[in-house]
Each structure stands twice: as structure tokens, then as C-alpha cells.
Structure 1
Amino acid sequence: MADKITIVLHSGDMDKVYSALIIANGALSMGMEASIFFTFWGLQRLKKGGLDKGPLSKMHMLGLGKWMVKNRMKKVNVASLDRMLTDFKELGGKILACDMTMEIMGIKKEDLREDLISDYCAVGTFVLEAKNSKVSLFI
């Protein structure tokens, strides 16, 4: 079993996307391999201009909660989602886009940030990644 982490990102909520990227980047910085399988609402965040969209999962309050959290994050110098995703890819992380979800939701390759995506794949690719990982998470 490889020193590796595999994450399914099913949610597109801002705090959950942050959680996945913080964990995955942490694993990469510790010398592990890391992959994130973006599916359903998580896949929406890979759309061009879509990374910063989506609600905060709790306390969204018509966008006020998200605004407050983003301001607090800025004050303590938390990197943006775009920076974290770019860092993840540059550090060797794999970004897997679920092609079945793309078909279901009418998302085309040209709708997505193709510069970040390592592979367009099905669940079998995720299962193989997870099977060979010490850690698997569903977010």
C-alpha cells in the first residue's frame, strides 16, 4: 500500500472544498502522494470561474456567513481556493474529474479548468486510487 491519500470531493460547499485542499496539500507536504476525485457538486468548483462560487455549508445566511468567513480568512492570511488548488497541482497532486458526473450535469471539458485536471475518469479510477492508499476520505 502506497504512502498516499485519496479524497472524494462530492460537495461544492466552500468550507468542504477548503477542507479537502488543506488535507491534500498537507499530505503532499509530508511526502505522500495525493489525489482528489471531483464528482457531483465538487466538480462544479472545477468550472472556469466556479471555484469561488457555492455556499458555505453552515451559517451561509444568504451569503453573509460566507462573506464573514472569507474576511476572517483574509485577516489570518489563509490562501485562496484558487491558490490552494494551483499549489496542489504544482506539488504533484492529481485532480480527477468524474466523467459520468460531467455527462449527467451537462458539463463539457471546455467548461472546466483543463490546466488543472490530471484525468477525466470514472469511478473505477477512484477505486484503484483508493485501494492503493493508506487514507481515503469522502468530503
Structure 2
Amino acid sequence: MVVFSGDLDKAIAAFIIANGAVAMGSKVTILFTFWGLNILRKPEKVSVKKGLVDSMFGFMMPRGSKKLKLSQMNMMGLGAKMIRSVMKNKNITSLEDLIKSAMDSGVEVVACSMSMDVMGIVKEELIDGVKIGGVGYYLGEAEDSNVNLFI
């Protein structure tokens, strides 16, 4: 699976699919690229030396899964808060728990190294357990797959 989007609803869908597939015995690799990398960022600021442009990118992008916006009806952040509240009230697993469950179940979470370079993100800014790889690594993993999703 390739996760290009950094939208909350799309991230939730990606991890629901990943958890479902791994529960059915499938090997799952997710490559996070461009805006999708924000899902994997640690919520706290990490002290690393960066250039001006990289620092600006880091400042403007959401830091971690709890800061993601909805793709539709975000309403200046109210939509994301509402969807999280509805999920909690209906005992639906949060994005953060879906991420943890997926990684604990063996889903391979890979951050695209080229996108990291472009967006000024370094490994220290990512949650623990994320691998760094390029498109070649992902294509090698996906080569024998019957399913390849782009979110």
C-alpha cells in the first residue's frame, strides 16, 4: 500500500485495511510518501539541526497523527475533533491504536527516503519502528502481491 495523503480519514482507512489484511495472514508493507509522512511524525518537537527551508516545512506540516485534518468537512479542525469523538463514543479504534496494532502485528511501515529529503524530515522525527526505504524497496515488496493500493 502507498499512503500519499496526510488526511485523517484516509490514514484511518489505510490502517483499517492493513490490520484486516495482516489478520487474514497477508504480509503488509505500507510506504508513506510526501504528505503521508506526517502521519508518522512524533507529536513532540525533536531537536535536530535543519536548514531554513526544511525548518519551514517542519513548522507548517502537522506533527503526528493527532494533528491530521479531514479530507472533507474539516471546518477549521472541528471536523477532525468530531470524527474522533464519534469514533470514541462508538468504541471504534483510534488512529493511534490502529497504528500501534498494525506495527505490533508485523505490518511493515516504511517512510520514503526521497520524500523525507524533499520535505526536510529526518528519521529522529518519526515514531519508533518505522523503516526508511525508497521506491525500489517498496516495489520489491509489492512485486509478488495481488493487491496494491494507493491512498
Asked if 1:9 is matched to 2:14, the reply is no
Tell me the alpha carbon deviations over residues 25-80 of structure 1, each in whole angstroms, 9 at most, x when there is no partner: 00011111111101111111111011111210011111121121111111111112
Q: Which has the higher strand share?
A: 1
Query: What amino acid is the match of 2:141?
Result: E
- Equivalent-residue separation in structure 2 for 1:69 and 1:97 (angstroms): 26
Paired residue for 1:101? Answer: 115
Percent identity over paired residues: 46
Contact 1:39 1:98 in 2 (8 A): yes
Contact 1:56 1:65 in 2 (8 A): yes
Contact 2:34 2:115 in 1 (8 A): yes
Paired residue for 1:124? Answer: 136
- Equivalent-residue separation in structure 2 for 1:116 and 1:83 (angstroms): 14
Paired residue for 1:69? Answer: 83
- For the aligned residues, what is the CA RMSD? 0.9
- Equivalent-residue separation in structure 2 for 1:91 and 1:109 (angstroms): 22
Residue 82 (structure 1) shift: 1.4
Residue 121 (structure 1) shift: 0.8
- Equivalent-residue separation in structure 2 for 1:80 and 1:68 (angstroms): 13
Residue 116 (structure 1) shift: 2.2
Tell me the alpha carbon deviations over residues 60-103 of structure 1, each in whole angstroms, 9 at most, x when there is no partner: 11112112111111111111211111110111110011010110
Paired residue for 1:3? Answer: none
Q: SS at the partner of 1:84?
A: helix
Q: How does 1:17-36 map to 2 (within 5 A)?
A: 17-36=11-30
Q: Runs ≥4 in structure 1, deviation > 2 angstroms? A: none
Structure 1: gaps of 5 or more residues = 1-6
Structure 2: gaps of 5 or more residues = 44-63
Paired residue for 1:58? Answer: 72
